[in-house]
Amino acid sequence: MILVTGGAGFIGSNFVLDWLAQSAEPVLNLDDLTYAGNMQNLASLQADPRHVFVKGSIADGELLTKLLAQHQPRAVLNFAAESHVDRSIHGPEAFIQTNVVGTFKLLEAVRHYWAALPLEAKQTFKFLHVSTDEVYGSLSKDAPAFTEQHAYEPNSPYSASKAASDHLVRAYHHTYGLPVVTTNCSNNYGPLHFPEKLIPLMIVNALAGKPLPVYGDGMQVRDWLYVKDHCSALRRVLEAGRLGETYNVGGWNEMPNISIVNTVCNLLDELRPRADGKPYASQISYVTDRPGHDRRYAIDASKIERELGWKPAETFATGIRKTVAWYLANPEWVSHVQSGTYREWVQTQYAAA
Ligand code: NAD
Ligand code: TYD
């Protein structure tokens, strides 16, 4: 089996669902169910014996040692993280605890487990660390996109904590020979995305008749990838990625935020027009910029395309249409997230703990 950490979050749950749709290999899913972890995302797996869910933290070394010994995974994929830049500005400590200390504890537990494996299992084992393009910092308007050689220049507490975790992963390969591979992916979007991030926030606010807050001038550029394409890249890297290497993952799709927001509004105008006939774009509201806001991210994905033959299946036009359609088709998921009902499962399940 494989061990996935953070598999109740946005990308992790998409990964687990896709994995089990394509493979018979079971998944041990370790997630601490913070506000970002949502068991509703995994509801379709409730009766599936191939999905073993454990609530717990990657910072809990004892638990990790026990789970590794008990389940003997052939690979570990580390998605678990605090992931929202705005939250990292207001409260950076949780980011250090999970992204830095948590990754360290996970690496330690995995290192001891791996070192004691029989030779064949040891030779095929892999630790895949899921990271972000934000570790590279901000690009000027005409600078070439980030390659794997780009210097790390993180600017937010979030990106700094992810950069620290990437460095630890690298060091465990060089020092202990741990068979690691790291991916640095651009901004993801798609189903099951928590509506604190740009695209899902714009969809749910638009439908609720609320303002659509665009930071600063809205001309910050992000490079967007449909989440299922990120998942296919991770499966490919797990299968064939070279140990000790890093792979940038992206869809060559740079767009300013305001264009993203307008695209979402136009799709909603088409698929769920406002009762008063006005365009959703009339709800756009320019607000104070995020402190230290990175101006531009862009991924050069040549290496993963060349070495591993990976390419995204979706264009932005097809992916964003699927995404908007998914939110329109899943009002219950949205309302449970907004009302906090999705967290009741945690309370009920662990009431006695
Ligand atoms: P998310 O915030 O939606 O999910 C994170 C998950 O980790 C949640 O289920 C949460 O409960 C869990 N978690 C948090 N702390 C934990 C801990 N201490 N132990 C165990 N579980 C814990 O994040 P996401 O958007 O799904 O991102 C997943 C990974 O991908 C992160 O490492 C992130 O840095 C990386 N990434 C995200 C993006 C993006 O656009 N969202 C892009 C590139 C890379
Ligand atoms: P976000 O989804 O938070 O991802 P990240 O900061 O990791 O790139 O934000 C994407 C972009 O959208 C970023 O430039 C900040 C901007 N943004 C807004 O303009 N308004 C918002 O309400 C949010 C959440 C983000």
Which residue segments constitute the domains of the chain, with CATH numbers given? Answer: 2-189+225-252+296-314 (3.40.50.720)
pLDDT at 352: 57
Q: Would you say residue 344 has pLDDT above 90? A: no
Please compute the mean of the pLDDT values over residues 189-208 and round it to a whole number.
Answer: 97
Residues 22-39 pLDDT 10s: 999 999 999 999 999 999
Residue 98 per-residue DSSP state: I
Handedness of CA 38, 41, 45, 50 (dihedral sign): negative
Each residue of 258-289: b (16+ CB within 10 Å) or e?
Answer: bebbbbbbebbbeebeeeeeeebbebbeeeee
> Regarding beta strands 221-226 and 254-256, do their DSSP bridges make them parallel or antiparallel, or are they unpaired?
antiparallel
The residue to which tokens 């009762």 are assigned: 275
Quick one: which atom of ligand 1 is closest to the CA of 59?
18
- Whether the model clears a pTM of 0.85, i.e. scores above it, the answer is yes
Active-site residue (options: 134, 223, 229, 254)? 134
From the CA of 343, the nearest ligand is 1
Which residue's CA is the closest to the ligand 1 atom numbered 42?
A: 187
The answer to whether 65 and 40 have CB atoms below 8 angstroms apart is no
pLDDT at 347: 79
The answer to whether 154 and 163 have CB atoms below 8 angstroms apart is yes
158 is catalytic: yes
What distance in angstroms lies between residue 222's CA and the mean position of ligand 2's atoms?
A: 9
| Dist CA 261 CA 280 (whole Å) | 10
Is the CB of residue 184 below 6 angstroms from any atom belonging to ligand 2? no
What distance in angstroms lies between residue 259's CA and the mean position of ligand 2's atoms?
A: 13
The answer to whether 227 and 187 have CB atoms below 8 angstroms apart is no
Is the CB of residue 186 below 6 angstroms from any atom belonging to ligand 2? no
The answer to whether 125 and 235 have CB atoms below 8 angstroms apart is no
The answer to whether 247 and 308 have CB atoms below 8 angstroms apart is yes
What distance in angstroms lies between residue 131's CA and the mean position of ligand 1's atoms?
A: 9
Residues 245-283 pLDDT 10s: 999 999 999 999 999 999 999 999 999 999 999 999 999
What distance in angstroms lies between residue 116's CA and the mean position of ligand 2's atoms?
A: 43
